[in-house]
A and B are shown apart, each in its own frame.
Chain A
């Protein structure tokens, strides 16, 4: 059509609308071709067919405006031009800046951060933890809301036996996703490890409130109390809740430990026995079980 081979274009487009009568675009192009061939009536019919299929076809209304003007039907041309203007104005509402431009600065930063993360992972997998850390820090600078980046860094710091730095990473994750229980879980664990017991207690408490159907928060808070030798009845209660929510080896173990600490040796024995059955390779479980047995 655009190279001036109008007859061939009409032939192909007529075939197209027979094969696919719902093709508004084919009818529009047919209208354009007839317009260039100066067959205004046929152009008009084609544009009209296009808008029957797609009533908000802006460009087809432009074609109708042109062709009606050519046909001397000023009234109709005016009518179509008004619809065209209205549709055009609608189209422009969501359009900011030039058509071929867009504002992608933050998207670009996010993309670059992913690249840095992947590079960091490669260094980590090759045992180059310092280089990995540098890359991940770059990623964090570019995309300060990238949770994966902070998880990778936390994991790296744990591998480098730097729990305080790992804790900072989980605190950042908590700030980004304050409703996500996983960061509280890790904050609790790491705070406990660093003997920041109040922080640990608060974190496990928050986890329980965010994920009341998950056993981990109950169990770890119970474990914290057992480790610090305080709130032992609450520890037993929390551990019992954990076992109710999930019959895992860890839950049975902590429950057994809590029972043991509160003098309930029968339940302690049964629970720890169950833990050993579920995880027979765990030396800590076996050790406690042996200890309970010896009390007998």
Chain B
């Protein structure tokens, strides 16, 4: 039997690949690297690029990752893939959008929670639901 190692490629949204591989090649933040079974434990960032895996039967598969992290243990390789390309300025733009959205939606900019008002509102909603429930029971 060829020397294989368990490999999992997961992203926050889904599991992309899981299985035994003979060798994995990926673009790390410091350059391209290949990992085989029995590699010393290692952790590195991945640059956007292809991840190449070779299975025991010589079949090859290629995945594209737009960055992430590669964790290597002697008997297990895991890739925590990002779902999108991450660049500082892009994250910043997304954050700015979220801030603007918050401002756009807020007519009322009072910064303190009015707890009594909130409690009253919630109680009202809960009472409505309770009434419905009661009506329903009465019917039976």
Decide whether A and B assemble into one complex.
Answer: no
Residue ranges of A at the interface with B (Cβ–Cβ < 8 Å)? none
